[in-house]
Amino acid sequence: MKTQVVIIGAGPAGMLLCEILSQHGIDCVVLEKNSRAHVLERIRAGVLEQGTVDLLRQYGLGQRMDQEGHVHDGMKIVWAGRESFFIDVKKHLNKQFMAYEQTNIQEDLFLAADRRGAKVITEVANLQLMDLSSNHPHVTFTQNGETSRLDCDYIAGCDGFHGVSRQSIPSELRHEFEKEYPFGWLGILSKTPPLQDIVYANHPRGFALASMRSPSLSRYYIQVPMGSDINEWSDDRFWSEIKSRFPKEMADEMVTGPSIEKSIAPLRSYVCETMRHGQLFLAGDAAHIVPPTGAKGLNLAVSDVFYLSRAFSAFYDQGKTQLLDEYSATALRRVWSSVRISWYLTNLLHRFPGGSDFDQRAQEHELDYLKSSYHAQVALAEQYAGLPFEARNALNT
């Protein structure tokens, strides 16, 4: 078999890249190790930057999002029982962001692929990337016990943090940056009406977050120690704990109910510099991971896909390779911006085990400064809403 671009991974990065390339007339095949059902049952991100919303609309993927998504003008921060303050993204930047869950985006992307008759091959195994530094790379994989080979011009590694693509780059060529946080997030989904706003809470008992998926579906998180056992967290224990971390008037507003999903995710920051090796280009979690505090993971996958699809289009439409050559550096500028703000918010809002009294005071005065400074709030709003994608002319192309 032969195609122009092989896409590894049918997560949001892979499926969005497939849709955009297909709309540009570029032939691609998606190879996914799990079943479609497995991909669709994963509960993950929920907040979309303006740039993500605009790109989905641009490619005709925004109808259901615009019907079911929840537009927000900003988010609240509250700490140590004091009154909350609102980071007003709309007032400061005339931008908004959308609460619309990743699972829905995956469904929308798969439906778009079905309508297009896109080639999405699931439940593949033993996938290997070959001849990456030649002009004729290819992949081999097995499916239903049969081994296949797929020749291509380029490979897009969209296979997430535990995928095979990044590992196919020789370790001496990968400059990796990593930071593990000494806690995780216990998240639940419940069929209960959410609070009106997205609220981040810093409390002596630990971080907490109130978010939503729809007017009848709430998403809540609490910081839990590294290595916590989900089986020790009954719904009652969760609701009692999260209520204790919000001011009483907010806690009293929280409608509790049975969890329909409950899981603990570790928190880490990770960046792989380079996002290209020969004819292989990494996009999304395959190249970087952020703690969910800044709601950046999914949005970074989208910005990588924006840059990579633009670069492939310039090559196939005009024979120009400059955007492909610039891809890694261009994508990494936005990656590091999101990695830094996610790291900043994680340090600002969480209680670090073993943190000193000095650390605690410094954190509280950072929160006081943020609460009182218009300029500090504009700076946070600008990064939370998502920096603009770099225009082509910024790259003199």
Active-site hit among 154, 181, 221, 384: 384
Please say which residue, 17 or 324, places its beta carbon nearer to ligand FAS.
17
User: CA neighbours within 13 Å on the CB side: how many for 161?
Assistant: 14
Among this protein's residues, is 90 annotated catalytic? no
Chain center to CA of 284: 8
Tell me the C-alpha distance between 293 and 296, whole Å: 8
What residues make contact with ligand FAS under the rule CB under 6 A? 8-14, 31-34, 39, 44-46, 102, 124, 127, 158-160, 163-164, 265, 284-286, 292, 295-298, 301
Please say which residue, 101 or 326, places its beta carbon nearer to ligand PHB.
101
Q: Which does 139 bind (CB under 5 to 8 A by kind): ligand FAS, ligand PHB, none?
A: none
> Which of 211, 259, 303, 383 is in the footprint of ligand PHB by CB under 6 A?
211
Active-site hit among 100, 154, 181, 200: 200
CB closest to ligand PHB, residue no: 46
Q: Which does 308 bind (CB under 5 to 8 A by kind): ligand PHB, ligand FAS, none?
A: none
Please say which residue, 53 or 286, places its beta carbon nearer to ligand FAS.
286
Smallest distance from ligand PHB to CB 75, Å: 8
Active-site hit among 33, 72, 138, 277: 72
Give all strands (DSSP E) within the chain, no chain letters. 5-8, 28-31, 47-48, 70-72, 74-79, 85-88, 97-99, 119-121, 125-130, 138-143, 146-151, 154-157, 175-190, 199-202, 208-214, 217-225, 259-273, 276-277, 280-282, 288-289
Tokens of 259: 């969890």
Q: Which does 293 bind (CB under 5 to 8 A by kind): ligand FAS, ligand PHB, none?
A: ligand PHB
Residue type, 281: F
Should residue 11 be labelled a site residue for ligand PHB when binding is judged by CB under 6 A? no
Tell me the C-alpha distance between 28 and 391, whole Å: 25
Among this protein's residues, is 200 annotated catalytic? yes
Among this protein's residues, is 170 annotated catalytic? no
Please say which residue, 97 or 247, places its beta carbon nearer to ligand FAS.
97
What's the first-to-final CA gap in the chain, in angstroms? Answer: 33
Short-list 111, 121, 119, 114, CA closest to 56: 111
For residue 267, give Cα distances in angstroms to 101, 186, 220, 293.
Answer: 20, 11, 16, 9
Backbone angles phi, psi at 95, to 5 degrees: -120, 160
Q: Which does 301 bind (CB under 5 to 8 A by kind): ligand FAS, ligand PHB, none?
A: ligand FAS
Among this protein's residues, is 384 annotated catalytic? yes
Please say which residue, 11 or 247, places its beta carbon nearer to ligand FAS.
11
Backbone angles phi, psi at 200, to 5 degrees: -100, 130
Smallest distance from ligand PHB to CB 47, Å: 4
Active-site hit among 292, 307, 316, 350: 292
Q: Which of residues 281-320 bind ligand PHB (CB under 6 A)?
A: 292-295
Please say which residue, 211 or 223, places its beta carbon nearer to ligand PHB.
211
Tell me the C-alpha distance between 384 and 27, whole Å: 35
Tell me the C-alpha distance between 112 and 127, whole Å: 25
Q: Which does 226 bind (CB under 5 to 8 A by kind): ligand FAS, ligand PHB, none?
A: none
Tell me the C-alpha distance between 84 and 321, whole Å: 50
Q: Which of residues 20-79 bind ligand PHB (CB under 6 A)?
A: 45-47
Among this protein's residues, is 292 annotated catalytic? yes
Active-site positions read 72, 200, 292, 296, 384
Q: Which residues bind ligand PHB (CB under 6 A)?
A: 45-47, 198, 209, 211, 219, 292-295
